[in-house]
Amino acid sequence: MLQTVPIEPFTIAVPDTVLAELRERISRARWPAGVAASGWDEGTDPAYLRALLAAWAEFDWRARERALARFQHFRALVDGTWIHFIHERGHGPDPLPIVLTHGWPSSFTEHLALIPLLTDPAAHGGRAEDAFDVVVASLPGYGFSTRPAGPGLTSSGIADRWHALMREGLGYEWFGAHGSDIGAGVTARLGWRHSGSVAGIHLASVSFAEPPPPWSPAEREYLATVAAWDAAEGAYSHVQSTKPATLAAALNDSPAGLAAWIVEKFRAWSDCGGDVEARVGREHLLTNLTIYWATQTIGSSIRLYYEHRHHGGLMPPGTRIEVPAGFAIFANEFVPAGRPPRELAERTYQVTRWSELPRGGHFPALEEPEMLAGEIRAFFRPLRGSKPEGSQKTVNAPPQEQRQ
């Protein structure tokens, strides 16, 4: 296959001046006065936020850069946008290519623990024949992927870019896909728009639009729960989908504001029992925050909500996705993704695997990577032999960068 998407090695290297300014801004944080809030009932706990900011000021970002450099990083120019991605080859007889897509307020780092579990399953209690070639992509306008040049990019357009990256950039004519949150929407649209290239789609933390009636009792109960959650907890989504520029001006200018906005969601949406660092970890939180701060992508990340609201982010009513679909439903996922009934998923998807898991929340690749990796391996196992005749595994090897 002719390589029509240019790819080049990429090195993460945040300038010293950016890190110095971050520390200086943290030192000058202005904390809210007035009625003293405590705990998390009103949002981010002020005492926790102060402690997190103090740790951020001392955070060894250079050590994190060295750790991230253990993976092969690249960027590809797709439709005028540079897409950052990791590409790691599998260790097995015939690795299946797979693209992993994160959501908000996350970044590509959400999937790092999955990479060795998928590329080398035999070294982690699995079978060599379940190996994958893994591509972990950063959404446009997130982290080290550049911002879209103009308005109108939704999950459908991102799916088209992923298809171009996998086929025209990396030469994979047949591949699988997994995603959660926004990444689940991108992954679903890969299956919908590019079924000829996609072996199957695996989804976690996936939301469902309200279907046309009649509803089953389980669907009715689920939709009522979604509506109640949205009324109590959905303000973040409403403001991000209606006035993202107003919010971005505040968050892009303040480390304290950025941390408060993002960390509260990691706590609320993970299966952490109120202790966010017990499941997500302080190092990951600070890594994720530093990526948002250094790249100044909080505005472009939340703008994706606006694009979906104003530029047709939903699939048309009655859409049917015919590629095989697997669902990992984690026990303590937050609503609106929550614990949907299988019959709701079957309205849109050809469900071939439906797993309701005993623990885990909205960030399963962080919280339960071994469990999620097992689900991905099991879902794709019967699909590996379904490659269309004449399709090739990989043709275009990306340029290799020096491991640090």
Give catalytic residues, as residue numbers.
181, 305, 362
What torsion, rounded to 10 degrees, do the Cα atoms 186, 359, 88, 101 define?
10
Closest CA to 256 of 19, 17, 49, 43: 49
Closest CA to 97 of 173, 210, 196: 173
Q: CA-to-CA distance for 162 and 159, rounded, in angstroms?
A: 5
Per the CB < 8 A criterion, the answer to whether 183 and 102 are in contact is yes
If 0-12 CB within 10 Å is exposed, 13-18 middle and 19+ buried, where does residue 10 land? middle
Strand partners, 77: 82
> Helix, strand, coil: what percent of the chain each, to 5?
45, 15, 40
Q: Both ends of the chain: CA-CA distance in Å?
A: 31
